[in-house]
Amino acid sequence: MAGMAGRVIVFGATGYTGRLVVESLLAAGVRPTVAGRDPARVRELAERHRLAAATADAARPKTVRALVDEGDVLVSTVGPFTRYGEPAVEAAVDAGAHYVDSTGEADFVRRVFTEFGPRAERKGCALLTAFGYDFVPGNLAGALALREAGDAARRVDIGYFVTGGGRMSSGTRATIAINAGRGAAHLLADRQIRLLPFARRVRSFPVDHHRHPAGLVGGTEPYTLPRIAPGLTDVGVYLGWFGPATHLMRLASYATPLLTRAPGVATALRRVGDRALARTGEGPDEQERARTGTLVVAVAADERDRELATVRLTGANPYDLTGRLIAWAAAALAAGRVQAGGALGPVDAFGLDELVRAAQDAGLHRE
């Protein structure tokens, strides 16, 4: 694997996150092939940066498969991934190409680790799902907390927060709308992956000298952190964007499954999602992004739930961070610096020390 040196292809390059990835790749001296479903928009982006271009559409999986060959790196920013993600990861595995994506969707994360990961391992290619704000910082903070806690650590909880204000991209809004009332969160409990409704569990984290609530989501950490700390029995990932409303979300998690089964509700939610998808490629500009930052907290504890170590990471806007981290991972994969094949986390893919350096370069630092 060390001798691999393939192309980097960005599928979804004309979307909001895709453009940030392309800009970060170019800043790093990597000239990707840009790909998307709209030939005119792809051609305009390619001509602006003098890049190779290709047309592909997730609705036509063969066109996505045609993008990649063995040893290439396929970056996908085409979401929502529960609806449009499969063709890209399937194409990468079939070709024996490395793969990186920008998802934050728990259902898709589980599929990558349980369904596509074993196949990729046999092919010798690496799959790096959710390699942006979701969920690289938590992997890093969790790994650092576990290193400090030592062998006594049995549990690690990770909270994702943002600082400042700011709006979401159109793609993020569409993903939330599409997945409203669907799917499940997950966590590691007693060494087993367990599914629960989103926000069914609420955990508080130390932020700004106060404890702030966060609701259960489903990151990569429950799959990846036990690989580097075999003594772990429990791993939870929580989202703290909603402040006190998190407690209301927990209560709502009991009613949501019943509501979505009511006549007409599922259809109404699908229509809302479809309308949200009609407006993609939009998001906060550079000045807006500068007002919002990343804050991630990891707390390691022993078997009696006594806290052993706490790590806080702060840094760049989540969208900027995502673009830079994905670009770094794609370049590292293309250079053959991955340590294994299959569905991987950032630490088992590249090692903790290299991840620390990459995070710092991307604007993520320990407090």
pLDDT at 167: 79
Which tokens sit at 327? 């670009």
Q: Tell if the pTM clears 0.75, that is, is over it.
A: yes
Distance CA 89, CA 94 (A): 9
Q: How many CA atoms lie within 13 A of 130 on its CB side?
A: 28
Question: What is the per-residue pLDDT for 304?
Answer: 97
CA-to-CA distance for 222 and 319, rounded, in angstroms?
A: 23
pLDDT score at 255: 73
- In this structure, the chain runs to a length of 367
Please give the pLDDT value at position 2.
39
pLDDT reported for residue 268: 60
User: Are 14 and 317 a contacting pair, CB within 8 Å?
Assistant: no
Place of tokens 């030592």: 150
| Domains assigned to the chain | 8-133+319-366 (3.40.50.720), 136-318 (3.30.360.10)
Pull the structure tokens for residue 357: 């350096």
Note the pLDDT of residue 3.
Answer: 39
**Quick one: pLDDT at residue 99?**
99
- Phi-psi region for residue 357, left (φ > 0), alpha (ψ -120 to 50) or beta? alpha
Instruction: pLDDT tens for the chain, 367 residues: list them.
Output: 333 468 999 999 999 999 999 999 999 999 999 999 999 999 999 999 999 999 999 999 999 999 999 999 999 999 999 999 999 999 999 999 999 999 999 999 999 999 999 999 999 999 999 999 999 999 999 999 999 999 999 999 999 999 987 777 777 766 666 666 667 999 999 999 999 999 999 999 999 888 999 999 999 999 999 999 999 999 999 999 888 999 888 888 887 665 555 566 556 656 656 665 666 678 888 999 999 999 999 999 999 999 999 999 999 999 999 999 999 999 999 999 997 899 999 999 999 999 999 999 999 999 9
Identify each DSSP E strand in the chain by its residue range: 8-11, 33-36, 53-55, 73-76, 98-101, 126-128, 155-164, 185-189, 192-196, 202-207, 210-216, 234-239, 292-301, 307-315, 342-343, 364-366
Q: Say what the pLDDT of residue 252 is.
A: 84
Phi, psi of 141 (to 5 degrees): -60, -40
Residue type, 98: H
- d(C-alpha 164, C-alpha 367), whole Å: 17
pLDDT for the residue numbered 236: 99
SS3 assignment, position 307: strand
Question: Between β-strands 364-366 and 307-315, what pairing exists: parallel, antiparallel or unpaired?
Answer: antiparallel
